[in-house]
Structure 1
Amino acid sequence: MRVIDLSEMIMDGMTVYPGDPEVKVEVVHTREEHTWELRQLTLGTHTGTHVDAFSHMHQGGKSIDEIPVERFFGTAQLVKLHSEWPVRQGLFFIEECGMEQFERIKQANPPFVGGNLTEAVERNLLAIGILTYTNLVNLELLPYGRSFMFYGFPLKIRHGDGSPVRAVAILDH
């Protein structure tokens, strides 16, 4: 079994989408002073590798805490835009995936899609109940066209429009 971490590192001052809150990671307790370490995080719900809830772009869409936990993992494949795609498996793209591929994605009926998606694709996928994962890293370490297990669990944020995730792919060998 091989585990590939698909998550971006969360750190003080990291790059965020223009207009999103700056990321701050501050030490507030130290072992020397308090006998334990504690950090305070200040960040947006769409910081680093994250999942978008349906409510992110659609009024009345389900928030992160209303989406069943089973939706945040499953079988997936890294695919090329012009290759064959599996049906009812998560799809991940390294190449930019735009609206030209939307109908094809819809026909494949994946539970989630991630990687290099345009905003229009994200908006339209969320509108039809397909979760989107953003800012995944290390996708180039995945084999094309071979199924793997994907896990991308969000924090259970009340009324959350999204959440940072620790995203991993597990390849069987």
Structure 2
Amino acid sequence: MKIIDLSTPLFSGMTVYPRDPEVKIKVVHTYEKETWELRQLTMGTHTGTHVDAFSHMDEGAETIDQIPLNNFFGPTEVVKKNQKWPKEKGLLFIEEIGLAELDKILSVKPKFIGGMITEELERALLKNKIVTYTGLVNLECLPKQETFIFYGLPLKIKSGDGSPVRAIAIIED
């Protein structure tokens, strides 16, 4: 079994979406003073590698804590626009995909989508109750047209519009 980390590291001053909160990670307690270490995190819910709740772009839709956990993991494939896509699996795109592909996406009923998707497509997917992942890295390390297991579990943020995740792919040898 091989595990591939698909998450970007979080650090103070990292690049964020325009007008989103700046990332600040501050050491609050130290081993020398308190005999333990603790950091304070300040950031938006859509920082780094993250998942979007249906409520992110649709007022009144389900929030991150209302979406069942099984929506955030499962069999997944890396796909391209011009190939046949598997049904009812997660889809990850290593090339930009946009609203023009919405009908094809809806026809295969993916569990979730991530990778290079436009904001317009993201909005349409969330309206159609398809979870979206943004900020995934190392997608080029994943097998193409082979199934692997993806996990991108959110923090259980009450009424959350999204959450940072530690996304991983598990590939069987």
The equivalent of 2:146 in structure 1 is 146
**Paired residue secondary structure (1:33):** helix
Q: Which stretches of structure 1, 4 residues or longer, exceed 6 Å deviation after superposition?
A: none
| TM-score normalised per structure 2 | 0.99
The aligned counterpart of 1:131 is 131
Deviations 1:72-91 (A, max 9, x none): 11000000110111000000
Matches within 5 A, 1:16-165: 16-165=16-165
Q: What TM-score, normalized by structure 1, do the two folds share?
A: 0.99
Asked whether the equivalents of residues 94 and 139 of structure 1 are also in contact (C-alpha less than 8 Å), the reply is yes
Q: Shift in Å at residue 133 of structure 1?
A: 0.2
Deviation at 1:70, TM superposition (A): 1.2
Give unpaired runs (5+ residues) of structure 1: none
> What is the rounded CA distance, in whole Å, between the counterparts of 1:82 and 1:106 in structure 2?
16
Identity of aligned residues (%): 59
Superimposed CA distance per residue, residues 22-74 of structure 1 (whole angstroms, 9 cap, x where no aligned partner): 00000010000110000000000000000000000001110000011111110
Distance 2:140 2:63 in 1: 30
- In the alignment, the residues of structure 2 paired with residue 171 and residue 61 of structure 1 have an alpha-carbon distance, to the nearest angstrom, of 33
Q: Report the AA paired with residue 53 of structure 2.
A: A
The number of residues matched between the two structures is 173
Distance 1:103 1:144 in 2: 22
**Separation (CA, whole Å) in 1 of partners of 2:37 and 2:18:** 31
> 1 CA distance for matches of 2:84 and 2:172?
21
**1:2-17 correspondence to structure 2 within 5 Å:** 2-17=2-17
Amino acid corresponding to residue 39 of structure 1 in structure 2: R
1:31 corresponds to which letter in structure 2?
Answer: Y
CA distance in 1, matches of 2:51, 2:70: 14
Please list every run of 5 or more consecutive structure 2 residues that lacks an aligned counterpart in the other structure.
none
Note the C-alpha offset of 1:18: 0.3
